[in-house]
Amino acid sequence: MTKPQRATETPEERPVDCFVCRKHRDVTLMPGGPVHEDELVVVSHVSPRAPGQSAEVYLGHLLVEPRRHAAGLADLTDEEAERMGRWNTRSARALREVAGAEHVYAAVIGDRVSHLHLHLLPRYPGTPREYWWTRVDEWPQAPRGGEAAAAQLVRRLRSRW
């Protein structure tokens, strides 16, 4: 018999030092606010204020996160997993249609922050093959910008819905 999944958490179960939980409470940490949010999932642009980021970020680098603190994919409830899948797909389409991405990579790494966040990284036309996949944001001509540029892109993506 399988143990029922629990989608709720008490305040004591939310790590106070978790950047993702903190940004869900304080949307000013998301450039332009959330691209999308509902009761289970938040989609946002990577923030220059996130751990390990610099003042300029790769434009279009989105994060799809469960609202509840969950460390990894295996920790999601079925409903959270379904909703994350839906918003991964919708966000990738928006990056293609609104931002002009020719391809969107998806990855879960989880080494720096212990709150699941799925990275969506667009590959823009003209990106040389040697920068595809894990180096897409290292291309010297890759579109980069600070919070204002990321916020402008967020508004464009959000208007798609």
Rounded to an integer, what is the distance from CA 97 to the centroid of its chain? Answer: 18
Q: pLDDT tens digits, residue range 104-161?
A: 999 999 887 889 999 999 999 999 999 999 999 999 999 999 999 999 999 999 998 7
Which residue type occupies 60? Answer: G
Confidence check: pLDDT of 2 > 50: no
Q: pTM of the entire structure?
A: 0.88
Confidence check: pLDDT of 33 > 50: yes
Position 129 scores a pLDDT of: 98
112 or 32: which carries more pLDDT confidence?
32
Mean pLDDT computed over 75-94: 97
DSSP state of 6: -
Position 50 scores a pLDDT of: 82
